[in-house]
Structure 1
Amino acid sequence: MDNTNNNKPHKSHQTTIIVGAVSLVLIILLGFLYFKNRSEMKALVNEMVEEKEMLTYEFENLALDYDSLQTNSDTLNTMLEMEREKISQLIEEIQTIKATNASKIREYKKELTSLRKVLKNYVVQIDSLNQSNKALQEENLKYRKKVSNMQTTYSKLEEVKQTLEKKVKVASKLETYNIEADGLNSKNRTTTKTSRVSKIRICFSIQKNITAEVGEKTIYLRVLRPDGALLYHSKEDLFLHENKKINYSSKRIIEYGGEEVDVCLYYQVDAGELTKGEYVADIFADGYNIGTMTFNLK
C-alpha cells in the first residue's frame, strides 16, 4: 500500500516534465516557424517593393521613349502628347499604391505592355511619315531646281529678246545723209548774211530702211545759234527725246514707206534773232537724233 502511494507522486512528476519538455519543443518550433515565415514575408515584401520600383523605372523609360519621338504631323503630335500625359499619370498612381497590392501591380504591368505596343505602332507611323517627307523633300528639291533652271532659261531668253529688240530698234532707226543748210532771203534766194536771212532751210535724204515702221513720221528740227541758244517760237513747241520733253525749232509730218525720201524743213527767222558764227542743226525722228550738221552765217 505504501509503495503504491509513493509511486503516484513520482509518476505525476515525470508526466509534468514530459509535458513541459514537449511544450518547450513546441514553443521553440513555433518560434522558429514564426521567425522563418517573418523572414520570408519580409523578403517577399522587399521583392515586391523592388518590383514596384522596377515598374516605375520602366514607365519612366517608356516616357523618355515617347519624348524622343518627333514628327511634323500635328495630329500625331497631339496623340503622342496624350500618351505622355497618360504615362505621367500612371507613374503618379504607381507611387501611391502599396507594393503588396499584387493585383494593381499586375494591372500596371499589362498597361505597360499595351503602351509599348502603342509606342511601336507610333514608331512605324512616324518612320513611314518621315520616309514620305524625305521623298517629298527630294521631289521638292528637284522641282525647285527645275523651276530655277526654267527661270535661268527664261532670264537668258529675256536677255536675248531684249538684245534682239535693241538690235531691231537700232536697225529700224532712220538715218539721214546729204544734209544741207541754207539761209534764204525774203525772195527765197540763198544768202549767208544774217541781216538778210528770213528763213533757214535744212534739206536731207532719209535712207531706205525695210526694218523701220512705215506710216506717218514727225520730223523735228533744232537749230542752235553760235552762243548755244535754241531758235524757236513758242515754249509749247515740245517733243519727247530720251524721256524728256524739249523744244524744237520746226517740224514736218511725212509719209514714210521704207524707201528713200527727200525732206526739207524751214525755220522762219524773227527780226534780229540771228548772230554771226557757226550754227548747229539736229534732226530727230521716233525719239532719235537721226542727223547733225553745222553751217555758218556772216
Structure 2
Amino acid sequence: MENQKSSSSLKAVVAVLAILLVGSLIYIFKMTSDADTVKTELKTTLTEKETVMKDLQELKSTYDAAISENTSMSDELILERDKVVNLMSDLSKSKGDVASLSRYRSQFNALQGNMKVLMAENDNLKKANTTLTVQRDSTRVVLGESKKYNEALVGQNEELTKAVEIGSKLTVLNTRGSAFKLRSSGKQIETDKASRADVLRVNFTIAENAIAKSGEKTYYVQVIDSKNNVLGDKKTENFGENTLTYSFLTNVKYENKTIQVSEDLRGKDFAKGTYFINIFDRDVLVSKTSFVLR
C-alpha cells in the first residue's frame, strides 16, 4: 500500500515536471520568435531609412544640377533644395522607428511631387530661352547683314558722289600765252619781242561737260613776268586761309558746251624772259602755261 502511494507521488512529480518542461519550451519558442520578429522589424526599418536617405540625396542632386544652370527659377529651386537638406538632417538624427519613417517617406513623396512640377517649369523655361536665343542670334545675323549692306550702299553712294563731284568739275585745256603789237590801224601783229609788245593775250578752252552745272563761271587769271611781278590789276582775293593776287578775272557764260576764252592784258615796257600764266577756279589752280619774250 505504501509502495502504491510512493509510485503515485512519483508519477505526480513527473507529470508536474513534464508540464513545466513543456511550458518552458513553449516560452522559449515564443521568446525566440519574438526576438526574430524584432530583428526582422529592426532590419526592415534600417533598410527603409537608408532607402529614404538615398532617395533624398538623389532629389538634392537633381536640384543642385538644375540650380547650376542659373535660370530665372533658381530662387525657387534653392528654396525646395533647402527643404530636402533639412529633411535629410532630421532623418539622420531619427531613431528610425516605423512611425517616423512613414512620416519621412510621406514628406519625401510631397517634395518629390514639388520637384517634378518645378523641373517641368524649368525645362519649359529653358526651351523658351533657347528659342529666344536662336531668334536673337538670327536677328543679329540679319541686322549684321543689313548693316554691312547699308555700309556698302553708303560707301557706294559716297564714291558715286565723289565721282559726280569730280566729273562735274570743268576742265580747262589748251591754255596759251602770246604777245601782240598794235598798229594805228587797229591791226594786231603777233610778236615774240618784248620791245614790240603792247598786249599780252591769254587763251584757254573750257571743255564740254554734260553733268556740270551751267551758268556764269568766274576764273582768276594770274600773269607773272620774268622778274616775278604780277601784271595787270594786281588785286587780291581771300579764300578762307588762302590769298590769291591776280592780274584780272574773266566771267564766262557756260552752257555745258566747249567754249573758247580769250582775254587781253595791255601794258608797256614788257621785260624780256619767261612769262607764266596761271588759271584759277577760286583758289584752285586748274591750268597753267608759259611763253618767252626775247
TM-score after normalising by structure 1: 0.73
Cα shift readout 1:198-240 (whole Å, capped 9, x = no counterpart): 997755343454533456755345667889x896999x96546
Q: Match for residue 289 of structure 2?
A: 293
Cα shift readout 1:3-38 (whole Å, capped 9, x = no counterpart): 36x644543343233222321221232122212211
Q: Distance in 2 between matches of 1:291 and 1:44?
A: 117
Q: Distance in 2 between matches of 1:265 and 1:90?
A: 112
Against the structure 1 CA distance between its residues 208 and 131, is the aligned structure 2 distance closer, same or farther, given a 3 Å change threshold? Answer: same
Q: Structure 1 residues 17-26 or 7-16, which shifts more?
A: 7-16
How far off its partner does 1:59 sit? Answer: 0.7
Q: Match for residue 85 of structure 2?
A: 88
**1:252 and 1:265 in contact (8 A); partners too:** no
Q: Distance in 2 between matches of 1:170 and 1:265?
A: 30
The within-5 A match list for 1:196-235 is 202-213=202-213, 219-221=219-221
- Give the 3-state SS of the residue equivalent to 2:95 in structure 1: coil
**1:180 and 1:204 in contact (8 A); partners too:** yes
Q: Amino acid of the residue matched to residue 33 of structure 1? A: K
Q: Match for residue 140 of structure 2?
A: 144
Against the structure 1 CA distance between its residues 222 and 35, is the aligned structure 2 distance closer, same or farther, given a 3 Å change threshold? Answer: farther
**Equivalent residues, number:** 281
Match among 115, 120, 123 for residue 127 of structure 1: 123
Q: Match for residue 36 of structure 1?
A: 33
Against the structure 1 CA distance between its residues 108 and 252, is the aligned structure 2 distance closer, same or farther, given a 3 Å change threshold? Answer: farther
How far off its partner does 1:286 sit? Answer: 5.9
- Give the 3-state SS of the residue equivalent to 2:177 in structure 1: strand
Q: Amino acid of the residue matched to residue 73 of structure 1? A: T
Against the structure 1 CA distance between its residues 112 and 255, is the aligned structure 2 distance closer, same or farther, given a 3 Å change threshold? Answer: farther
Q: Match for residue 180 of structure 1?
A: 176
Against the structure 1 CA distance between its residues 282 and 116, is the aligned structure 2 distance closer, same or farther, given a 3 Å change threshold? Answer: farther
Against the structure 1 CA distance between its residues 194 and 112, is the aligned structure 2 distance closer, same or farther, given a 3 Å change threshold? Answer: farther
Name structure 1 gaps, 5 residues minimum: 269-273
Q: Amino acid of the residue matched to residue 206 of structure 1? A: I
Q: Structure 1 residues 288-297 or 34-43, which shifts more?
A: 288-297
Q: Amino acid of the residue matched to residue 160 of structure 1? A: Q
Match among 14, 18, 27 for residue 15 of structure 2: 18
Against the structure 1 CA distance between its residues 49 and 206, is the aligned structure 2 distance closer, same or farther, given a 3 Å change threshold? Answer: same
Q: Distance in 2 between matches of 1:33 and 1:130?
A: 62
Match among 150, 154, 159 for residue 155 of structure 2: 159
Q: Is 1:262 equivalent to 2:261 in the alignment?
A: yes
Q: Match for residue 109 of structure 1?
A: 105
**2:219 and 2:250 in contact (8 A); partners too:** yes
Q: Amino acid of the residue matched to residue 204 of structure 1? A: F
Q: Match for residue 53 of structure 2?
A: 56
How far off its partner does 1:275 sit? Answer: 8.7
Q: Structure 1 residues 193-202 or 13-22, which shifts more?
A: 193-202
Q: Amino acid of the residue matched to residue 130 of structure 2? A: K
How far off its partner does 1:261 sit? Answer: 7.2
Against the structure 1 CA distance between its residues 86 and 10, is the aligned structure 2 distance closer, same or farther, given a 3 Å change threshold? Answer: same
Q: State the Cα RMSD in Å.
A: 4.1
How far off its partner does 1:99 sit? Answer: 1.4
Q: Amino acid of the residue matched to residue 40 of structure 1? A: T
The within-5 A match list for 1:63-74 is 63-69=60-66, 71=69, 73-74=71-72
Against the structure 1 CA distance between its residues 184 and 25, is the aligned structure 2 distance closer, same or farther, given a 3 Å change threshold? Answer: farther
Q: Match for residue 271 of structure 1?
A: none
- Give the 3-state SS of the residue equivalent to 2:289 in structure 1: strand
**1:221 and 1:248 in contact (8 A); partners too:** no
Q: Distance in 1 between matches of 2:292 and 2:242?
A: 24
Q: Distance in 1 between matches of 2:264 and 2:16?
A: 161
Against the structure 1 CA distance between its residues 297 and 106, is the aligned structure 2 distance closer, same or farther, given a 3 Å change threshold? Answer: farther
Against the structure 1 CA distance between its residues 61 and 226, is the aligned structure 2 distance closer, same or farther, given a 3 Å change threshold? Answer: farther
